[in-house]
Amino acid sequence: MNPSDVHIIDERISRWLYLNPTAEKLPHHIESLLYAQQRHEEAVRSKKLVIRPIESSIELKDALEEALLPYAERTEAEKMLADYIDEIVDVDDLKLHQLVDKMRRCRNSGVMGKTSDDRTVFVWDEKCSCSKLCPHESRDETQRLIRRYHSPIIDFINEKNSHRAFYSVFSYQNYKPGDLKEGKRDIIKRFNKWRGNHPEVKGALLIEEDPLSVHGDWNVHLNVILLVDGAFCYGQARTTWGNEYQLYITKLNQDNLTKTLIEAIKYSAQIVPSKSAAKASANATRAPAMIQWSHEQWIEWWKANKGFRRTRSYGVLYGIKDDEAGDELTDVTWLGEIEFSHDGRYFVSLILGDKSGRKYQRMSDLFDQYDQWDNYNVREGPP
C-alpha cells in the first residue's frame, strides 16, 4: 500500500499501519475495513444504502450481539473441548497441542456484515478448520451439504411419480474398545453390499456417526437419505441388512420436503462433540459427552476419524459439486467488528456511517466507557 494513500482511508487502518510498521500484509479485519469503506462510498454514491441515524445504533448493536448468541455458545463449547483435549493428551504431542491452540483462537474476533439479500456474513481473523471437533466448522459443513444436495434431491423426487426419498438409520453391532477403526470400515462395506441388493435405490447420501455408548463401546451407525424409484419394501430392506440389527426407515414428508430434508441433514451431520454434549445435558441418554471420555477413548476416536470420510454419496448423488464458489464477499455492508469476551459473549463495535456517509465512526468513539477502548486510547499513535 502506498503510504500517501493513508490519509484518505479509515483512521483505524492508519492506526494499524502505524502500530505494525513492518507488516507486509493487512490482517483480514483491517483489510475488510478498507473494502467496506470502498463499498460504502460506492453505495452512498449510487444511493443504495440507507445511512442509519445515530439514534438507532444502540438497537443495531444489541441486535447484532443477540444474533451472535448462538455463535458465542459454539465458541464456548469449542473452548471447553480444547481445555479437555489439552488436559488429556500427552505433553509431547505437539500436533494435538497445536490443534488445541487453534481451537482456542478460533473465531475470537472478526467483522460482520450484511449482504444486499440480507444474509449475515463474517470474516474471522482466525479459524481452526477442524470440522470433526469444531462446532462452527461443523455448522458450515452442514450448510455446504444442504447447499450441495438439497436441489438434486428435490429434483429427483419431482422428476417422476415413482421417485421418493427416505430417511434411514442403519445400526450394526457395537464395537468394543480398540475396534472402532475396524467398525467404521465394516459398516460402510456392509452398506455397500446392502445397496447392491437394492437396485431400486438410485442414490444415497450417507453420514456416518460413532458416539461412545453408555456401556463404553462404540455405537457405529449410518444416517442415510435414500432416493428410491418404484416399490421399496421396508421388511425386505431390513432382512437384507440383517434382522438382528436395527434399521429405521421413514419416508420424507412430501408436503414439507425442504424442511424435513434440511432437518434430516442437519441432525445427521452434527458432530459427536456437539451431539453428545446436547444429549447429555438434556438427559435424553446416559451416553457420556465427549469431554467425559477417558484419554484412551478419545485418542482411539481421534485416530479412527483422522482421514476418514464421514459423508459419502452414491448413485445419482455421486460427484455433485457446489454450484456456488463459497461465500461471495462482494456487496457486503460491514456493520461491526466483533470480539469474544471473557464473559462468554461477542462484543460488537459498530462501524457506522455518519450523515454524509463519507467517514466511519466507531461506536466506542461515541461512548467512551468500554475498557478495551480506554486501553487502546492510552497507547501512543496517530489521531
Give the DSSP H or E segment for 97: helix 94-105
Residue 271 sits in the site that holds Zn ion (CB under 5 A): no
Q: For the sheet containing 201-209, what is the strand order?
A: 247-251, 163-171, 221-229, 201-209, 311-315
Alpha-carbon gap, residue 209 to 304, rounded angstroms: 12
CB of 141 to Zn ion, least distance (A): 11
C-alpha grid cell, residue 39: 463499498
Which H, E and C letters describe 330-357, residue by residue? CCEEEEEEEEECCCCCEEEEEEEECCCC
Please choose, out of 60-68, 99-107, 225-233, 341-349, the segment that lies near Zn ion by the rule CB under 5 A: 99-107
CA distances from 23 to 16, 18, 19, 20, 127 (A): 10, 10, 9, 6, 21
Alpha-carbon gap, residue 206 to 128, rounded angstroms: 25
Residue 134 sits in the site that holds Zn ion (CB under 5 A): yes
CB of 267 to Zn ion, least distance (A): 21
| Biggest CA-to-CA distance, the chain | 76
Residue 225 sits in the site that holds Zn ion (CB under 5 A): no
Of residues 15 and 132, the one with the C-beta less far from Zn ion: 132
Of residues 106 and 316, the one with the C-beta less far from Zn ion: 106
CB of 102 to Zn ion, least distance (A): 7
Please choose, out of 43-51, 102-110, 218-226, 228-236, the segment that lies near Zn ion by the rule CB under 5 A: 102-110
Please choose, out of 38-46, 103-111, 146-154, 366-374, the segment that lies near Zn ion by the rule CB under 5 A: 103-111
Please choose, out of 15-23, 98-106, 235-243, 275-283, the segment that lies near Zn ion by the rule CB under 5 A: 98-106
Give the DSSP H or E segment for 251: strand 247-251
CB of 104 to Zn ion, least distance (A): 9
| Residues in a beta bridge with 170 | 222, 247
Of residues 106 and 204, the one with the C-beta less far from Zn ion: 106
The total of other beta-carbon atoms located within 10 Å of residue 249's CB is 16
Among 128, 153, 206, 290, binds Zn ion (CB under 5 A): 128
Of residues 235 and 326, the one with the C-beta less far from Zn ion: 326
CA distances from 227 to 169, 201, 255 (A): 14, 6, 16
Of residues 128 and 264, the one with the C-beta less far from Zn ion: 128
Which alpha helices (DSSP H) does 223-294 contain, by range?
234-241, 257-269, 272-282
Of residues 106 and 338, the one with the C-beta less far from Zn ion: 106
Of residues 144 and 195, the one with the C-beta less far from Zn ion: 144
CB of 338 to Zn ion, least distance (A): 15
Phi, psi of 111 (to 5 degrees): -125, 150
Give the DSSP H or E segment for 120: strand 120-124
Please choose, out of 5-13, 21-29, 128-136, 348-356, the segment that lies near Zn ion by the rule CB under 5 A: 128-136
Residue 106 sits in the site that holds Zn ion (CB under 5 A): yes
Of residues 227 and 277, the one with the C-beta less far from Zn ion: 277
CB of 128 to Zn ion, least distance (A): 3
Please choose, out of 36-44, 106-114, 205-213, 276-284, the segment that lies near Zn ion by the rule CB under 5 A: 106-114
Give the DSSP H or E segment for 248: strand 247-251
CB of 129 to Zn ion, least distance (A): 7
CB of 19 to Zn ion, least distance (A): 27
Which H, E and C letters describe 174-225, residue by residue? CECCCCHHHHHHHHHHHHHHHHHCCCCEEEEEEEEECCECCCCCECCEEEEE
Please choose, out of 29-37, 38-46, 127-135, 276-284, the segment that lies near Zn ion by the rule CB under 5 A: 127-135
Residue pair 277/293 in contact by the 8 Å Cβ criterion: no
CB of 134 to Zn ion, least distance (A): 3
Chain residues that interact with Zn ion, rule: CB under 5 A:
106, 128, 134
